[in-house]
């Protein structure tokens, strides 16, 4: 059982702000993902929770207890890093057992605990091997088993999949999801990969430049991005964003005219997702020329230049056209998002 409260947490080095006023309660057994581009403060936040980084301002409360001044070893949190951090001279069994020795856990229980943890990550056959004799995925599983063996209240994972190849990343991702569900441990997971965030998280925290941009379920964040930063960070491809003018509910920009919108007259940023627009034979809201086409297997991604921006539109997998062809797209007003042209905040 562990609820983690982050109360107005800030980290500064001199005048440089790494994390600013991070305020959130992470529920017991929740899988929370910190997502954002490189340098946005994800790792710093996690290191503060772990006790590896001093806090400039604010409080961290785990299970009702302020832990600001507790040493990492006294926090009952287990960390898994991108670099596995295994001891090269120890075999897999000894690596997994190590945290039990350090914490002076009753030696009579070690063998059973090591075997249970290694079975959970399917490492039973590799217990005698040294890390150098393992693949990247197997090493990462040793690191996971070493975190599991402690039976901590909190898991902190910092990009644990980033050293794995694409296929292994997908299978290890599923394994992490399954483990966190089975073990019922509160988990904070750092990644810059939005697919990882969307597939793993109960809730996602999107960060930029040390500041939380939005907290929500993957669906919330995808369907109702709070601002243009979140809109352009979530989704593959990113949401199309076009600057233009709203007047009497009609948005206009070069090549684009969409009516039936609700919002204040004036300059706005309009957003829509590639998968929500479709090629149109009849009256269309976007008229442009094809810039490029990519076959994705299950669909064709068409890039067009319209409204002074490059826009992506997903078409049927059989759809074919030539670069330069004139094309028309239907972009229904119901699927459009509106953002303030200056602040980027969502307005509709």
Interface ranges with ligand ATP (CB under 6 A): 13, 16, 18, 36, 38-44, 192
Minimum distance from CB of 39 to ligand ATP (Å)? 4
How far apart CA 338 and CA 264 sit, in angstroms, is 10
Three-state secondary-structure class, residue 154: strand
Q: Give, as one character, the DSSP assignment of residue 133.
A: G
Question: In this complex, which beta carbon is closest to ligand ATP, that of residue 41 or of residue 235?
Answer: 41
Question: In this complex, which beta carbon is closest to ligand ATP, that of residue 22 or of residue 155?
Answer: 22
How far apart CA 79 and CA 125 sit, in angstroms, is 24
Q: Give, as one character, the DSSP assignment of residue 340.
A: E
Spatial CA neighbour of 238 closest among 154, 343, 310: 310
Minimum distance from CB of 96 to ligand ATP (Å)? 26
Q: Provide the phi-psi class of 8: left if phi over 0, else alpha when psi is between -120 and 50, else beta.
A: left
Contact 222, 198 (CB under 8 A): yes
Minimum distance from CB of 46 to ligand ATP (Å)? 8
Question: In this complex, which beta carbon is closest to ligand ATP, that of residue 36 or of residue 216?
Answer: 36
Question: In this complex, which beta carbon is closest to ligand ATP, that of residue 39 or of residue 348?
Answer: 39
Question: In this complex, which beta carbon is closest to ligand ATP, that of residue 94 or of residue 193?
Answer: 193
Beta bridge mates, 162: none
Minimum distance from CB of 213 to ligand ATP (Å)? 13
Degrees, nearest 5: CA angle 19-24-26: 120
Question: In this complex, which beta carbon is closest to ligand ATP, that of residue 40 or of residue 164?
Answer: 40
Three-state secondary-structure class, residue 138: helix
Minimum distance from CB of 12 to ligand ATP (Å)? 9
Minimum distance from CB of 36 to ligand ATP (Å)? 6
123 contact partners, CB below 8 Å, separation of at least 6? 92, 96, 138, 141, 142, 145
Minimum distance from CB of 43 to ligand ATP (Å)? 3
Question: In this complex, which beta carbon is closest to ligand ATP, that of residue 84 or of residue 272?
Answer: 84
CB atoms within 10 A of CB 65: 9
How far apart CA 323 and CA 314 sit, in angstroms, is 15
Beta bridge mates, 45: none
Question: In this complex, which beta carbon is closest to ligand ATP, that of residue 20 or of residue 95?
Answer: 20
Query: What would the two tokens of residue 336 be?
Result: 């459009």
Question: In this complex, which beta carbon is closest to ligand ATP, that of residue 13 or of residue 281?
Answer: 13
CB atoms within 10 A of CB 56: 15
Minimum distance from CB of 330 to ligand ATP (Å)? 38
Minimum distance from CB of 82 to ligand ATP (Å)? 8
**How many Cα atoms are found within 13 Å in the side-chain-facing hemisphere of 102?**
14
**How many Cα atoms are found within 13 Å in the side-chain-facing hemisphere of 214?**
23
41 contact partners, CB below 8 Å, separation of at least 6? 11, 18, 19, 20, 22, 207, 209, 210, 211
């Amino acid at each position: 059982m562990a609820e983690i409260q982050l109360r107005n947490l800030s980290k500064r080095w001199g005048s440089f702000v790494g994390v600013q006023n991070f305020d959130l309660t992470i529920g017991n057994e929740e899988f929370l993902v910190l997502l954002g581009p490189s340098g946005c403060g994800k790792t710093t936040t996690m290191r503060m929770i772990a006790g590896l980084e001093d806090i400039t301002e604010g409080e961290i409360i785990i299970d009702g207890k302020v832990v600001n001044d507790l040493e990492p070893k006294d926090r009952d949190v287990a960390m898994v890093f991108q670099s596995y951090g295994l001891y090269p001279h120890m075999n897999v069994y000894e690596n997994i057992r190590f945290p039990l020795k350090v914490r002076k856990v009753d030696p009579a229980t070690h063998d059973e605990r090591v075997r249970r943890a290694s079975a959970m990550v399917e490492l039973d056959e590799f217990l005698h091997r040294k890390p150098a004799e393992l693949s990247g995925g197997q090493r990462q599983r040793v690191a996971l088993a070493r975190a599991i063996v402690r039976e901590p209240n909190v898991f902190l994972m910092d990009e644990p999949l980033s050293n794995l190849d694409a296929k292994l990343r997908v299978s290890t991702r599923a394994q992490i999801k399954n483990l966190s569900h089975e073990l019922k441990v509160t988990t904070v997971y750092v990644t810059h990969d939005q697919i990882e965030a969307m597939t793993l998280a109960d809730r996602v925290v999107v960060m930029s430049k040390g500041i939380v941009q939005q907290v929500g379920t993957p669906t919330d964040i995808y369907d109702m991005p709070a601002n243009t930063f979140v809109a352009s960070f979530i989704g593959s491809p990113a949401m199309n964003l076009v600057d233009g003018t709203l007047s009497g509910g009609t948005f206009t920009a070069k090549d684009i005219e969409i009516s039936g919108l609700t919002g204040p007259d004036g300059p706005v940023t309009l957003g829509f997702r590639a998968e929500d627009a479709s090629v149109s034979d009849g009256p269309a809201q976007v008229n442009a020329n094809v810039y490029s086409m990519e076959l994705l297997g299950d669909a064709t991604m068409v890039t067009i230049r319209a409204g002074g921006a490059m826009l992506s539109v997903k078409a049927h997998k059989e759809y074919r056209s030539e670069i330069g062809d004139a094309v028309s797209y239907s972009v229904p007003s119901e699927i459009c998002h509106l953002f303030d042209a200056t602040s980027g905040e969502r307005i509709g």
